Structure 1
Amino acid sequence: MLRESRHEQLLRVLREEGVLPVGRIAERLRVSEATARRDLDDLGKAGRLTRVYGGAVAREPAERPFADEEVDDLAGKDAIARRAARTVEDGEMVLLDIGTTTLQLARQLHGRQITVVTSNLAVYEELRDDAEVTLVLLGGQVRRNYRSLVGFLTESSLGQLRVDRLFLGTSGVLPDGRVLDTTDIEVPVKKAMLASARQVVLLATARKFPGTGTARICGPQDIDVLITDQASDPGTLATFGEAGVEVAVAAGEAGEA
């Protein structure tokens, strides 16, 4: 196994199991204890884990502030949001995931006679004064950096709902169609969203192929529609198509897809 792949596997194991001793890490990776120690030293120097008495614990990857993410690739997000908004019908109940692409979608939903359910505080702030939109804000613990709600209260609320469409965000999509997130604490909420929706629409700009992330949300078999832009990886889009996913490519301002 290549060192980089072994490092990623080591971090996944630590996130799943917490603190592990060196001997147990060596067993899980099928390497010598000397190799396991070198890997721990390398990842510790890179700031990706913390050495503790008896072993090591993974650090959460640094998350960019929401405001910084919002301005990245704004044209691509806007094109995807416009295409996604055209799929929403009056009277529907739609669920908007966290993220900046779903915020762009919310900006396209003003004046619509629909119900919007969300854990995205930026979406709530965008739509809270729109008298036409019925707005449902899920409960939960506030993640201030990324303006979202997480935890068992959020998951429990989702368990009471059955929505027409979920618009799902992601930090990365692998060539085999796995949909990822960078933050483990968001994944249970996203999975609860998947379970509450009749249709799942994945929104992903080209830079999300492959993007980033270590935590798996779902696979292509869990997605009904993928809306992306013209620069996205053709091979990954083909993987979704082969899995029966409707792939919609949003055009920029110059035209419609």
Structure 2
Amino acid sequence: MLPQSRREQILRTLRADGPSEVRSLADKLGVSQATIRRDLEQLDADGKLTRVYGGAMTLSSGDIDSEDVDDPFAEVATERAEDKDAVARAAAVMVQDGETVLLDIGTTMHRLAHHLHGKRITVITSNLAVYDELRDDADIELVLLGGMVRRRYHSLVGFLTEDNLRQVHAGRLFLGTSGVRGDGAVMDTTLVEVPLKRAMIKAADQVVLVADGGKFPGVGVARVCGPDDLDVVVTTASADPATRLALQEAEVDVVTA
């Protein structure tokens, strides 16, 4: 994982979990404690966190921009934006008129939705950003899954969303991730989303993982699925070659945007 991607992951982890020890961060990201210490020193120097004994914590709400606190979705959307748009565009090319597709949460799926305009398709999603993007497109039949609103992450979650997923079927799922491990396992850092991702996989004939190269190899708190559950991976040329090879050896079609 590139240093910038790793440091972005550290900040997201601290915001989600609160103050964390160096050892805990190293375990979650799969790197050495020395690497984490260097990252924390750099982030502290950049004014993005506060070093504490044995670890780090995020800055108080009074010390950081209010948009970062209130809307992490908007913050993540700016990370590797060009790469996200490239993989989203490549994924959208796969979709033909008449299809029913299922779109996962996340900022890359929002970009994918943008590139679906002009197609006569059905889109099923729990992603509120996708809903906002497509709701005025008369050519797209839009199905919004019910559930509890996670306003800061622009998504719907909970048992209602899972129940709704059991009532629908899609020809193709476009799946997001916080990272892909070296063995091809798909990971995620948001525990409440993991059951939904698994339910989405069951609800689709084909699973297409859409993730820019910054997530190869990557990390996460929970394992969503293995490479055997994937049919296609759409990524960028910067994706770790060893991880791509592991996916190809698992008979996953790897498409480079």
> TM-score range, shorter-chain basis?
0.7 to 0.9
The answer on 1:105 being equivalent to 2:112 is yes
Report the equivalent of 2:205: 198
Deviations along 1:53-86, one digit per CA (max 9) or x if unpaired, are xxxxxxxxx9970001111111111111111011
Q: Which has the larger radius of gyration?
A: 1
Mapping 1:123-138, distance limit 5 Å: 123-138=130-145
Q: In 1, distance between residues paired with 2:228 and 2:131?
A: 30
CA shift, 1:5, in A, is 7.6
CA shift, 1:7, in A, is 7.5
Q: Residue 121 of structure 2 contacts residue 140 of structure 2 at CA under 8 Å; is this kept in 1?
A: yes
The answer on 1:172 being equivalent to 2:176 is no
Q: Residue 104 of structure 2 contacts residue 174 of structure 2 at CA under 8 Å; is this kept in 1?
A: yes
CA shift, 1:210, in A, is 2.5
Mapping 1:1-257, distance limit 5 Å: 4=23, 8=27, 46=56, 65-250=72-257
CA shift, 1:46, in A, is 4.7
CA shift, 1:162, in A, is 1.3
Runs of 4+ in 1 over 3 A off after TM superposition: 3-9, 45-48
CA shift, 1:209, in A, is 1.4
CA shift, 1:212, in A, is 3.5
Classify the secondary structure of the residue corresponding to 1:187: helix
CA shift, 1:186, in A, is 0.4
Q: In 2, distance between residues paired with 1:193 and 1:248?
A: 21
Q: In 2, distance between residues paired with 1:67 and 1:96?
A: 18
Shift in CA distance, 6/119, structure 1 to aligned 2, threshold 3 Å: closer
Q: Which residue identity is paired with 1:108?
A: H
Q: Which residue identity is paired with 2:130?
A: V
TM-score where L is the length of structure 2: 0.74
Deviations along 1:139-159, one digit per CA (max 9) or x if unpaired, are 000111110000000000000
CA shift, 1:47, in A, is 5.8
Q: Residue 217 of structure 2 contacts residue 239 of structure 2 at CA under 8 Å; is this kept in 1?
A: no
Gap regions ≥5 residues in structure 2? 1-21, 29-52, 59-68
Q: In 2, distance between residues paired with 1:176 and 1:218?
A: 11
Q: Which residue identity is paired with 1:217?
A: V
Q: Which residue identity is paired with 2:83?
A: G
Classify the secondary structure of the residue corresponding to 1:145: helix
Classify the secondary structure of the residue corresponding to 1:94: strand
Q: In 2, distance between residues paired with 1:177 and 1:111?
A: 33
Classify the secondary structure of the residue corresponding to 1:66: helix
Shift in CA distance, 6/116, structure 1 to aligned 2, threshold 3 Å: closer
Q: In 1, distance between residues paired with 2:88 and 2:165?
A: 23
Q: In 2, distance between residues paired with 1:208 and 1:69?
A: 13
Q: Residue 128 of structure 2 contacts residue 154 of structure 2 at CA under 8 Å; is this kept in 1?
A: yes
Gap regions ≥5 residues in structure 1? 10-41, 49-61, 251-257
Report the equivalent of 1:37: none
- CA RMSD, 1 decimal: 2.3
Q: In 1, distance between residues paired with 2:167 and 2:95?
A: 22
Q: Which residue identity is paired with 1:106?
A: A
